[in-house]
């Protein structure tokens, strides 16, 4: 191998080493952020679960009616999509955006008019580039998300639903399962099916626990009415759902980024080993060639 080619290999080794330093640093940062994001996700669950159980109890009344449980659809749907603000997270953004687009196309094929509410810079860029009608571009996922910000976000969604701008709200996000597994999900936020919360709650509880809750619900008196209490809880319920989903999605993003950066670092290490072997062989061949030339020259002089 020529000297110039040996220098190219050496330069490439240096370049890969620099890249590996960056991916290692990003892996450490993602690991740190993942730890705090998991803690936030866990700490937010009791609040949401309490609201969840209360709304289950309220809906057990057969005469219960609410604007948030209506079933008459005008074929207008708001799809809220949670993605990340940055890339370099493996298939995190691709998977959730692909699921969201499939959901939108399915709704449009059924005659629905769809408006997209993207949350996260990557979601805004994706749907804006493809010409979808966008509800708002101002929201981005942040590790500093507060419950008050989630409440303002839910107020926007609820206001549009109550005013008839759209009569159904879908949420597409990524849930954190483990450090290695993150699943993209699609759920209906509004309207709330009367028995939806109740059935979900019963699937989580034992039969004795259900009986105890039913007895407790029978003794509960809601003032001024069960419907007004339920409607008053809706903003907190939706904001709690959004908060948990955003925090969960953020944790999934950090887990995906950590895995991607770990894989990139491992690949860089393997590439450095391969290039180092190539460099050493080329260097050895060059030295051997130089020795042969010296010996040949010496023999020619004799």
φ, ψ (nearest 5 deg) of residue 224: -75, -20
User: Which class in CATH covers the domain with range 40-257?
Assistant: alpha beta
CA 184 – CA 8 distance, rounded (Å) = 43
- Retrieve residue 4's tokens: 């110039």
Residue 142 or residue 87, greater confidence: 87
Peptide bond into 224 cis (omega under 30): yes
Whole-model pTM over 0.85: no
Is residue 44's pLDDT more than 90? no
Sole residue written with tokens 């701008």? 165
pLDDT digits (tens, 9 = 90+) for 88-100: 888 889 999 999 9
pLDDT digits (tens, 9 = 90+) for 175-211: 888 888 889 989 888 888 655 444 444 444 433 344 4
Cβ-count burial 270-285 (b if 16+ within 10 Å, e if not): ebbeebeebbeebeee
Contact 276, 83 (CB under 8 A): no
Domain 3-32+260-294 has CATH 1.20.210.10: no
Distance of CA 244 to the CA centre of its chain: 11
List the domain boundaries for the chain: 3-32+260-294, 40-257
Residue 159 or residue 55, greater confidence: 159
Give the count of alpha carbons within 13 A of 299, CB side only.
6
């Amino acid at each position: 191998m020529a000297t110039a080619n040996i220098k190219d290999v050496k330069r490439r080794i240096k370049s890969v080493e620099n890249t590996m330093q960056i991916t290692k640093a990003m892996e450490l940062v993602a690991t740190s952020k993942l730890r705090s994001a998991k803690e936030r996700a866990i700490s937010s669950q009791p609040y949401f679960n309490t609201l969840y159980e209360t709304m289950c109890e309220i809906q057990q009344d057969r005469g219960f009616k609410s604007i948030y449980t209506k079933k008459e659809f005008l074929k207008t749907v708001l799809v809220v999509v949670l993605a990340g603000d940055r890339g370099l997270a493996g298939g995190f953004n691709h998977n959730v955006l692909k699921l969201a687009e499939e959901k939108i196309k399915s709704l449009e094929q059924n005659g629905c008019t769809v408006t997209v509410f993207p949350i996260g810079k990557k979601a805004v860029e994706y749907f804006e580039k493809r010409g979808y009608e966008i509800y708002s571009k101002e929201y981005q996922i942040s590790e500093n998300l507060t419950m008050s910000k989630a409440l303002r976000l839910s107020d926007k969604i609820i206001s549009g639903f109550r005013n008839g701008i759209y009569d159904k709200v879908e949420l597409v996000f990524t849930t954190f399962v483990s450090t290695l597994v993150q699943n993209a999900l699609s759920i209906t936020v509004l309207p709330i099916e009367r028995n939806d919360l109740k059935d979900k709650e019963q699937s989580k509880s034992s039969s004795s626990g259900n009986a105890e809750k039913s007895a407790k619900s029978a003794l509960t008196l809601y003032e001024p009415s069960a419907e007004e209490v339920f409607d008053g809880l809706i903003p907190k319920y939706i904001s709690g759902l959004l908060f948990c989903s955003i925090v969960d999605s953020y944790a999934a993003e950090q887990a995906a980024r950590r895995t991607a950066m770990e894989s990139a670092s491992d690949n860089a290490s393997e590439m450095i080993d391969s290039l180092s072997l190539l460099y050493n062989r080329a260097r050895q061949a060059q030295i051997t060639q130089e020795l042969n030339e010296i010996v040949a020259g010496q023999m020619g002089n004799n």
